[in-house]
Amino acid sequence: MKVKQYITIACFPLFGLFAQSCLDLDPQAQMGDNLVWNKAENFQLFANQFYGWTRDFNLSGTATYGNAFSDGPHSDYRSDLLATSSVNVYSQGTNSIPSEDANYTNLYKRIYYTNLLLNRAEGFGDQEAIAVPVGEAKFFRAYLHFELVQIWGNAVLLTKPLDIDSPELYGPRNDRGEVVDQIITDLQDAAELLPETAGEAGRLTKSAAQAMLSRVALYEGTWQKFHTNGATATDNTERSTELLTIAKNAAAEVIGSGKYHLFYNETLGNESYRYMFILEDGVQCNPANLSKTDNPEYILAHRHRNGDKLSLNITHAVLEGSCWLTRKLADMYLCADGLPIGKSSQFKGYVNPTDEFQNRDNRMGNTFLQNGQSFWDNESKTARTAWTDADLSVARIANVRSNSGYRPYKWAVERQVTDSYESMDYPVIRYAEVLLNYAEAAYELNGTISDSDLDMSLNLVRQRINPDMPKLSNAFVENNGLSMREEIRRERTVELIMEGFRIDDLKRWATAGTEMPQDQLGVLFTGTWFENNWADQSRQLNGDGCIILYNNRTWNERNYLYPLPSDQLQLNPELGQNPGWGNN
């Protein structure tokens, strides 16, 4: 890997969270300089930079691992459920070995910084005074190593700052299991060091470490359960059981703390889900006039202040056609009776453009715009001001006759604000995910889950804005010929869509080989309202009369892991390329 011998950090950007401070830290020359590391507050100032490394709408620069909304390794654009105007080679399964990858070099550079703090902390006299920045360093060292595992599998495990000629940098990669064990240890240590309650908004807490632990252990536990990786069935079962137990217990710790809750407001009602994602501070941005401080669901967020420019025009990216939702996603939402569309008598079909939205999970209407629906954006003439009927005079009317025929709604603000200056936070970890982690880990441990476990986890998520929808229960599954696993996975998918989870879920479940080659489709065109009202629709139709967005999609076993960039293999041939990629 490329590690510069002299790395200077002149002024740490504090990413909208904290006051700035300038420290000139040369890792080679000044690591032991007591003038730098002699104060506890300097450890904290150094750790502040870590918060800019989490997932966001779009990270500035060339590293894309943190891009959860725009294209990146975790982006839903690389999955089966979202598309855009250009072919995504990762979604199509046609990506090749890159000559270089900024994700690889940036992740290791940032791991170096976490190790630098931890190394200097060992010689600091007052360990209690630096407990929080040490906990933050351990959390982010785990976070960054987890990125490596998700993207490339086996990875060079680094737990100390290394010089460019250190032999560890030129050896083979560590097995992913060894890396995951260190991640788990770091997160467990971080949970003991971090405070129960954050002193400032956006800071890590004990629950954040435990929530991240549930994510990591669920990911690797299901990976080991559904991928053999050359291990025996017994070895895989023992390992997956160990990890899934950790995932369930970590999620249970967060749930039991009582510090976080699903966001819901009576005034917002069944639109609480949508408004949660566009809460801001200092401006009226919803009919209940709530702000970020009213949201008890975000456990860790990438913070943004009013007035800061983002690297992405979020509202128009959503509303103006950059994001294409698919028919497959639309069909995943349950009907109001808790049944899939193929089993429910409440499903109204597709003849008229709003028929399929009737009697459905309310999250569908929070995520999709319906044809003819009034909506608002951030333009001066089409933004809301009062959140009353008076706003209808400036409303736009949704016309879905473009792209896939489905238009997204999630993430779009309604107040007037200059493009790219929306200031909602990005949820790196939210409580709904923890609840869903718990339900999935509980089920995958033994192939069964109790109704009480469902009620304390998944059903809370389902009924947040669907209070009348039947709960998921063992009797409901049995009586309606459903699959408990499929329903747990469905709930996760519709709740977390457009947040950067889908492709990683398909990979860890080992179902990408089935799901990803399927054509990406738009609305049913033949025999519906669209056929008579969308004259310039020119895309091909499939045998059922649905618009084909992208076909000829492939997925090979090698696509479960990304190929290592060729420059890194040239620097260190001992790294070894991932299976199936050869040298092409």
Look at residue 13 and tell me whether its pLDDT is greater than 70.
no
Mean pLDDT within 466-484: 98
pTM: 0.94
Q: Which of 21-30, 261-270, 361-370 has the lowest mean pLDDT?
A: 21-30
Question: Given pLDDT bands bounded at 50, 70 and 90, which one contains residue 51?
Answer: very high
213-227 pLDDT, tens digit each: 999 999 999 999 999
Whole-angstrom distance, CA of residue 114 vs CA of residue 407: 41
CB-side neighbour CA atoms (13 Å) of 478: 5
Mean pLDDT within 233-243: 88
Give the pLDDT confidence score for residue 167 in this predicted structure.
84
Q: Which helix (H) or strand (E) holds 298?
A: strand 298-302
Question: Given pLDDT bands bounded at 50, 70 and 90, which one contains residue 229?
Answer: low
Query: In Å, how far from its chain's centre is CA 25?
Result: 32
Mean pLDDT of the chain: 92
The token pair at 148 is: 């490596």
The token pair at 266 is: 């009576």
Q: Pick from 202, 420, 418, 415: which is nearest to 295 by CA?
A: 202
Q: Which helix (H) or strand (E) holds 228?
A: none
Give the pLDDT confidence score for residue 6 in this predicted structure.
25
Give the pLDDT confidence score for residue 20 in this predicted structure.
28
Q: Which helix (H) or strand (E) holds 138?
A: helix 131-152
57-113 pLDDT, tens digit each: 988 777 899 888 889 999 999 999 999 999 999 999 999 999 999 999 999 999 999
Question: What is the residue extent of each domain of the chain?
Answer: 284-292+308-424
Mean pLDDT within 403-416: 97
Please give the radius of gyration of the chain, using alpha carbons only, rounded to the nearest integer.
Answer: 24
Q: Cα-flanking dihedrals φ and ψ of residue 522, to 5°?
A: -105, -155
Look at residue 23 and tell me whether its pLDDT is greater than 60.
no
Whole-angstrom distance, CA of residue 130 vs CA of residue 278: 35
Give the pLDDT confidence score for residue 230 in this predicted structure.
56
| Contact indicator for 257, 207 with CB cutoff of 8 Å | yes
Burial 228-239 (b: 16+ CB within 10 A, else e): eeeeeeeebeeb
Distances (CA, A) of 213 to 187, 253, 393, 508: 6, 11, 48, 16
3-state secondary structure of 475: helix
Q: Is 188 exposed, middle or buried (0-12, 13-18, 19+ CB in 10 A)?
A: middle
The token pair at 173 is: 């990669």
